[in-house]
């Protein structure tokens, strides 16, 4: 999938705090992922790699941000990206080192 962008209309890549309109996320702006189920539990890092849902405890392990260069969501606790275990062949999420760049 490609977009044609005329040179005189190119705004450049969004910077820190600016909205990436393609992804709908602000660059490097911390956010929580909160369940809509009763209890409003937060996505949380567990043992530095696994992801679980847990009550809001206000720790850095519950903070995430959008990384513009790799176009990934990263954990603020260790700056590693969201990943699906087993190369996407499972429904379990984990945090893993970003091993490629998308540009």
Distance of CA 85 to the CA centre of its chain: 16
What is the reported pLDDT for 100? 59
| Block residue for tokens 């809509």 | 36
Q: What is the 3-state secondary structure (H, E, C) of 48-98?
A: CCEEEEECCCCCHHHCEEEECCCCEEEECCCCCEEEEHHHHCCCCEEEECC
Q: pLDDT (tens digit, 9 = 90+) per residue, 88-100?
A: 788 888 888 876 5
Is the whole model's pTM more than 0.85, yes or no?
Answer: no
Q: pLDDT (tens digit, 9 = 90+) per residue, 26-59?
A: 999 999 999 999 889 999 998 888 899 999 999 9
Average pLDDT over residues 3-30: 92
Domain 17-96 carries which CATH code? 2.80.10.50
């Amino acid at each position: 999938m490609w977009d044609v962008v005329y040179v005189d209309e190119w705004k450049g890549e969004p910077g820190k705090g600016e909205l990436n309109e393609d992804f709908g996320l602000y660059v490097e702006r911390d956010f929580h992922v909160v369940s809509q189920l009763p209890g409003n539990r937060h996505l949380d890092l567990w043992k530095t790699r696994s992801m679980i849902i847990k009550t809001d405890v206000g720790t850095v392990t519950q903070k995430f941000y959008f990384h513009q260069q790799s176009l990934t969501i990263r954990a603020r606790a260790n700056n590693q990206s969201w990943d699906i275990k087993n190369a996407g062949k499972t429904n379990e999420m984990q945090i893993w080192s970003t091993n490629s760049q998308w540009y």
